[in-house]
Amino acid sequence: MATVADVLAETGSSPIARHHALERLAAFVRRECAAPSPVVGVGGTVSDVSRSVIAVRGMSQTAMLGDGVLMRCGDGFYRGEVIRVAESHVLIKPFDDRAVPALGAPVFPDGTLRIAPSPGWKGRVVDALGMPLDGKGPLMPGCESMPADRPPPAAMRRARVDKGLRTGVNVIDIFVPMCFGQRLGIFAGSGVGKSTLLAMMTKATDFDTVVLALAGERGREVRDMLEDTMAGKLEKTVTVVATGDESPMMRRLAPNTATAIAEYFRDRGENVLLIVDSITRFAHAAREVAIAAEEPPVSRGYPPSVFSQLPRLLERAGPGLEGGGTITGIYSVLVDGDDHNDPVSDAIRGTLDGHIVLDRGIAAQGRFPAVDIPGSVSRLAQHGWTPEQKKLVTQLRGLIARFEETRDLRAIGAYQAGNDSFLDQAVTLVPKIYEVMQQTPDMPVSTDPYNDLAAALRKENT
C-alpha cells in the first residue's frame, strides 16, 4: 500500500511520475478516510489442508462468502478467498496453487479483492489480480478501486443497443453484423479457429479500447497471439492472462478482472471491445471451485452456481447508462466434443445476443474463418444493415442454404443444370461468395466488404 513517504519520494521525478504519484496519494487518502483499513477483523488458524481447499477455524462468525484472506505459508503470505462458510470452519481456496500452509498457520481477513485500472494500463499485460506480467515496469493504479465482481447496471437505466459497428472480419460484417454493446458467442470445437478469429477482431478500428482476457488457454499461445496475430495493434489493448496451468481461482477471476477493466473504460465514455477466450474455461474453473466448496454437481458435473455465475458475468458487458460508453462482448465457447447442446453452451447461447458457429468440416476444406453462415445469427443484425443490405443478405443466405442442402445430391451426380434456376444460381455464386469471405490474420482489413462482394459477384456474371 502506498504511504505518504512513498508518494513524496516519487514527486521529485518527471511531471508524469508526479501526476501519477498525486493520483495515488488521492486514492490513498480517499481509501483511508472512507473506510477502516481492510486488514482488520478476526483471523483464524488452518485446521485442514488438502490439494483443493483449506479449512480454517475461528473465522466462521465474521467471514463472508467471497472475502479475501491472507494465509501464512512458510515465510510468505498467500492470498485466498472464502468459498464456503460453515458453523465450525470456513473453506478457503488460494489464488496460487503452491500455497500449502501448515496446520495451525495463521489466516487474516483481507477485505474484498479490488483492482484500480487507469488509462496507463493500455498496451500492458496483467494477471487476474491486476499485476503486470510484461516486464515493462510497475503499473500505476488509478484513482478508483473497484471489486472484480460487480453487478451490471440496472436494466431500465441502460442505453439501448442499436448502433452498428464494423469488426473488420468480412464474413461477420456482412452476414452476422454487430452493434455497439452487443454480446456475441463464437461456438466451435477445439482447433477450428476461435482464437485466430478473436485476434483478428481486436484490430477493429471502431473501438477506443480493447480488453482481452485469455482464460485457461495454452501459455505458448499467449505470446503467439500478442506478438504475431495482434502485432503492432497493442497500444489500445489491455490483456488479462490466466493460462491453463494457473489455479482455478485465477482462471475464474481473469474474465471478471477483464470485465471490471472494460467497465472502467466504459464509465469514462469509451466504446470498449471485451474479448474472452474462452468462457468455457471460465466455466470449468468455476466448476472446480464450486466442487471444492462441496456443492453437488447437477448437470454433466457442473454444480448449480456455475449456471448463475455465467449470466452474471455476461450481463456486465453491454451498454452503460444512457449517453455513456458501451462494452461489446465477444466470448469464445469451446463446445464439448463438437456437441453444440452441452449444458454450458446452451446456458451461454441463451444469454447472448447472437452466436457465430465455426464448423470443423469448413476448416478441413481450408476455408477460414470457418463460419457456418446458415447456423450463425446476430439478434441485432437489423440495426447493422441498411434496407438494401438486408435484402441482399437475405437473398445470399437463401442461396447458401440451398447450396449446402444439395451438397450430397450434387456429390453423387444427381444435379443437372437447367432444371432449377435458383439452384443453378446458387451453384454459380456460392463458391464465389465463399472465396471472397476467406480472410487470414495478415490480410489488410477491407474498407467496404459489400463492395468487394458485389465486385466478385459481378465478375462471375460477366
Ligand X SMILES: Nc1ncnc2c1ncn2[C@@H]1O[C@H](COP(=O)(O)OP(=O)(O)OP(=O)(O)O)[C@@H](O)[C@H]1O
Region binding Mg ion by CB under 5 A among candidate stretches 190-198, 312-320, 322-330, 408-416: 190-198
- Residues contacting Mg ion: total by CB under 5 A: 1
Show the binding pattern over residues 283-322: x = contacts ligand X (CB under 6 A), - = does not. Answer: ----------------------------------------
The entry of ligand X, Mg ion, none that residue 369 binds, CB within 5 to 8 Å by partner kind? ligand X
Whether the upstream peptide bond of residue 369 has omega within 30° of 0, thus cis, is yes
Residue type, 353: D
- Do 356 and 188 meet the contact criterion of CB atoms below 8 Å apart? no
The entry of Mg ion, ligand X, none that residue 188 binds, CB within 5 to 8 Å by partner kind? ligand X
Cβ-based neighbours of 323, under 8 Å, separated by 6 or more: 159
Distance of alpha carbon 355 from alpha carbon 352, whole angstroms: 7
> CB of 345: closest distance to Mg ion in angstroms?
16
334 near ligand X, rule: CB under 6 A: yes
Any idea what DSSP says for residue 36?
Answer: -
Distance of alpha carbon 165 from alpha carbon 206, whole angstroms: 7
Task: CB nearer to ligand X: give 375 or 441.
Answer: 441
Identify residues 15-44 at the interface with ligand X (CB under 6 A).
none
Task: CB nearer to ligand X: give 96 or 452.
Answer: 452
Task: CB nearer to Mg ion: give 182 or 195.
Answer: 195
- Residues contacting ligand X: total by CB under 6 A: 14
Pairing of strands 326-334, 271-277: parallel
CB atoms within 10 A of CB 406: 16
Cell numbers placing 262 = 472494460
Let me know how long the chain is: 462
- Do 273 and 208 meet the contact criterion of CB atoms below 8 Å apart? no
> CB of 198: closest distance to Mg ion in angstroms?
8
Task: CB nearer to ligand X: give 177 or 193.
Answer: 193
- Do 319 and 259 meet the contact criterion of CB atoms below 8 Å apart? no
Residue type, 448: D
Identify residues 365-394 at the interface with ligand X (CB under 6 A).
368-369
Whether the upstream peptide bond of residue 13 has omega within 30° of 0, thus cis, is no
Region binding ligand X by CB under 6 A among candidate stretches 127-135, 194-202, 250-258, 429-437: 194-202
The entry of Mg ion, ligand X, none that residue 192 binds, CB within 5 to 8 Å by partner kind? ligand X
376 near Mg ion, rule: CB under 5 A: no
Give the closest residue to 446 by CA, choosing from 162, 172, 198, 232: 172
Task: CB nearer to ligand X: give 167 or 439.
Answer: 439
> CB of 237: closest distance to Mg ion in angstroms?
17
The entry of Mg ion, ligand X, none that residue 446 binds, CB within 5 to 8 Å by partner kind? none
> CB of 127: closest distance to ligand X in angstroms?
20
Task: CB nearer to ligand X: give 89 or 284.
Answer: 284
Distance of alpha carbon 402 from alpha carbon 30, whole angstroms: 64
> CB of 222: closest distance to ligand X in angstroms?
12
Positive/negative CA dihedral, 227, 229, 235, 236:
negative
- Which residue sits closest to Mg ion, CB atoms considered? 195
Task: CB nearer to ligand X: give 188 or 215.
Answer: 188
User: Could you write out the DSSP letters of every residue in 55-93?
Assistant: EEES-TTT--TT-EEEEEETTEEEEEEEEEE-SS-EEEE
Interface residue with Mg ion among 167, 195, 259, 439 (CB under 5 A) is 195
Cβ-based neighbours of 224, under 8 Å, separated by 6 or more: none
Look-up of cell digits 471491445: 273
Task: CB nearer to Mg ion: give 195 or 209.
Answer: 195
> CB of 462: closest distance to ligand X in angstroms?
29
Interface residue with ligand X among 122, 158, 183, 194 (CB under 6 A) is 194
195 near ligand X, rule: CB under 6 A: yes
Region binding Mg ion by CB under 5 A among candidate stretches 30-38, 188-196, 304-312, 439-447: 188-196
Distance of alpha carbon 124 from alpha carbon 21, whole angstroms: 19
Q: What element of type H or E holds 378?
A: strand 377-378
Q: Cα–Cα distances in Å, from 386 out to 71, 177, 249, 292, 310? A: 58, 11, 45, 51, 33
Show the binding pattern over residues 411-450: x = contacts ligand X (CB under 6 A), - = does not. Answer: ----------------------------xxx---------
Identify residues 163-192 at the interface with ligand X (CB under 6 A).
188, 190-192
Task: CB nearer to ligand X: give 101 or 193.
Answer: 193
Cell numbers placing 277 = 477466450
**Contact footprint for ligand X (CB under 6 A):** 188, 190-196, 334, 368-369, 439-441
**Contact footprint for Mg ion (CB under 5 A):** 195
